[in-house]
Amino acid sequence: NAGVTQTPKFQVLKTGQSMTLQCAQDMNHEYMSWYRQDPGMGLRLIHYSVGAGITDQGEVPNGYNVSRSTTEDFPLRLLSAAPSQTSVYFCASSPTTGKNTEAFFGQGTRLTVV
Amino acid sequence: AQSVSQHNHHVILSEAASLELGCNYSYGGTVNLFWYVQYPGQHLQLLLKYFSGDPLVKGIKGFEAEFIKSKFSFNLRKPSVQWSDTAEYFCAVSAMEYGNKLVFGAGTILRVKS
């Protein structure tokens, strides 16, 4: 019963470094998304995908890339980390893009950029 | 675009006090409504959801929420809070017209004093 699995749980990066946050789900969900959580701002959508091979930008996409080569995996790439990307990142999945769907969240990745 | 407004960022209550957290959303069409809870150090968990039907929705742990369409509101209530309800609470909205993307409010941090 893994659900949505994110790795790593914690990461410290230096400014300018790149890294990939991993997200995998085993529920055969079509829809996957990445959010960042910052104090007093709730969760903001970074990128999302409605199925393998299809991705789109959310509210705050700058500085992040995604790809969706399989239904299960939806990695988030930081190309050149900046201190403004210090945040907690959550991956979520839901069954379809249709009505009456709820999102299931991973445990989160706490990223610090120094 | 959709937006979600949560009225209070911090709420402090004593045990056994009643709780009401306000949530208003901006979109006038058909919406799905959610309340998520995040306990300290944990990921988001679904408290309750509204898709259609009875506007009074009951969730886990004694929480309920009422959808009032004319007021664009989905307030969360609990008659008697416990110390273990200390957490951050997020209201979220999705709509098919916006690809069912979840839009979150800024969150309300609830602290229950024992």
Average pLDDT, chain A: 93
Contact between chains at A42 and B46 (C-beta distance less than 8 A): no
Nearest CA in chain B to A110: B41
CA distance B31 to chain A (A): 9
Contact between chains at B32 and A100 (C-beta distance less than 8 A): yes
**Which pLDDT tens digit goes with each residue over A37-64?**
998 888 999 999 989 999 999 999 999 9
For residue B46, give the nearest of A48, A99, A102 by CB distance.
Answer: A102
Contact between chains at A45 and B102 (C-beta distance less than 8 A): yes
What pLDDT sits at residue A12?
A: 97
Nearest CA in chain A to B89: A42
For residue B100, give the nearest of A42, A97, A108 by CB distance.
Answer: A97
CA distance B99 to chain A (A): 6
Neighbouring residues of A86: CB distance < 8 A, sequence distance ≥ 6: A111, A112, A113
What pLDDT sits at residue A97?
A: 58
DSSP B106: -
End-to-end CA gap in chain B:
41
For residue B96, give the nearest of A31, A99, A108 by CB distance.
Answer: A99
Average pLDDT estimate for A100-108: 86
What pLDDT sits at residue A98?
A: 59
Contact between chains at B43 and A94 (C-beta distance less than 8 A): no
pLDDT at B63 over 90: yes
pLDDT at A91 over 80: yes
Contact between chains at A35 and B104 (C-beta distance less than 8 A): yes
Query: What is the Cα–Cα distance from B26 to B73, expressed in whole angstroms?
Result: 9
pLDDT at B66 over 80: yes
Q: How confident is the model at residue A100 (pLDDT cuts 50, 70, 90)?
A: low
Contact predicate B103/B92, CB 8 Å: yes
Measuring CA to CA, which residue among B100, B103, B114, B105 is closest to residue B76?
A: B105
pLDDT at A95 over 70: yes
Of A45-49, A72-76, B41-45, B48-52, least confident by mean pLDDT is: B41-45
H/E stretch holding B77 reads strand B73-78
CA distance B42 to chain A (A): 6
What pLDDT sits at residue A105?
A: 94
pLDDT at B97 over 80: no
pLDDT at B98 over 80: no
Query: What is the Cα–Cα distance from A80 to B48, expressed in whole angstroms?
Result: 38
pLDDT at B2 over 80: no
Query: What is the Cα–Cα distance from A14 to B92, expressed in whole angstroms?
Result: 33
